[in-house]
């Protein structure tokens, strides 16, 4: 299925309703797009849609899989040139915000050499305080990012090459149902982390 697309594979983990994958698959027909989510019910509708005829909204270059980031299929190892995590919640959110070794190792595992990892976080310290406390999330201060989180990514085989807070105008350019849902909330900070898989995976 992936073979005709050569080395051009994009994976979105915690894909939800698959909005990002469908948008990207339409925009880049030469790439193969895989949306993954732990929750099967989120994927049901879009999985049916992509299998329609192309003139009825079908997308032959897209696929959706039910899997948790903690348990990604081995068939995906080393496959992706791009890995996205957008507006994660639950254990996926905890893994990327706290830099959990197991979650980062699995993100690294699906990466091809020099793949790009793109993470978008939209946390509101007040509105999300219950969830932040429940998950034990570290506050995303500059000091925490530079001194704790980025080194954890480095240890997992990712060099973080860019971190930026996106402006409210940039929210509207994000192809994500959650971006649309959250962007009216001015207290919510949209943090973008871009990393690249290091050539040689670290020995763990």
Q: Which residues bind ligand SAM (CB under 6 A)?
A: 13-16, 19, 37-39, 42, 68-70, 86-92, 176-178
Give the pair of three-digit tokens for residue 12.
């979105």
Whole-angstrom CA distances from 89 to 81, 110, 113, 119 are: 23, 20, 27, 12
Which residue's CB is nearer to ligand SAM, number 72 or number 115? 72
Q: How far is the CB of 200 from ligand SAM (least distance, A)?
A: 26
In whole angstroms, the minimum distance from the beta carbon of 87 to ligand SAM comes to: 4
CB of 66 to ligand SAM, least distance (A): 9
Residues 6+ apart with CB under 8 A from 72: 13, 36, 106, 109, 110
CA–CA gap between residue 139 and residue 127 (Å, rounded): 14
Q: Which residue is nearest to ligand SAM (CB)?
A: 16
**Closer residue to ligand SAM, CB minimum distance, 38 or 201:** 38
C-alpha distances in Å from residue 35, one per residue of 69, 83, 173: 12, 10, 19
Contact 55, 63 (CB under 8 A): no
When the beta carbons of 64 and 87 are compared against ligand SAM, the nearer one is 87
Among candidate residues 27, 26, 28, 31, the one with its CA nearest the CA of residue 55: 26
Taking the complex as a whole, the smallest distance from the CB of residue 201 to ligand SAM amounts, in Å, to 21
Q: How far is the CB of 19 from ligand SAM (least distance, A)?
A: 6
Question: Where does residue 74 fall: left (phi above 0), alpha (psi -120 to 50 degrees), or beta otherwise?
Answer: alpha
70 versus 146: smaller Cβ distance to ligand SAM: 70
- Our CB check for ligand SAM shows the closer of 87 and 158 to be 87
């Amino acid at each position: 299925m992936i073979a005709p697309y050569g080395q051009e594979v994009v994976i979105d983990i915690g894909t939800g309703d698959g909005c990002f994958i469908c948008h990207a698959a339409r925009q880049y027909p030469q790439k193969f797009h895989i949306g993954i989510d732990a929750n099967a019910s989120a994927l049901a509708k879009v999985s049916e849609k992509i299998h329609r005829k192309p003139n009825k909204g079908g997308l032959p270059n897209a696929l959706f899989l039910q899997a948790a980031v903690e348990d990604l299929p081995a068939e995906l190892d080393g496959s992706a040139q791009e890995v996205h995590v957008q507006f994660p919640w639950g254990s996926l959110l905890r893994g990327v915000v706290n830099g959990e070794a197991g979650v980062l190792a699995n993100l690294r595992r699906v990466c091809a050499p020099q793949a790009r990892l793109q993470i978008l976080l939209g946390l509101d310290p007040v509105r999300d305080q219950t969830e932040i406390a429940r998950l034990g999330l570290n506050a995303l201060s500059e000091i925490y990012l530079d001194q704790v989180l980025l080194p954890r990514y480095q240890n997992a085989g990712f060099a973080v090459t860019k971190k930026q807070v996106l402006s409210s105008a940039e929210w509207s350019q994000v192809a994500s149902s959650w971006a649309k849902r959250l962007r009216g909330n001015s207290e919510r900070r949209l943090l973008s982390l871009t990393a690249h898989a290091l050539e040689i995976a670290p020995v763990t």
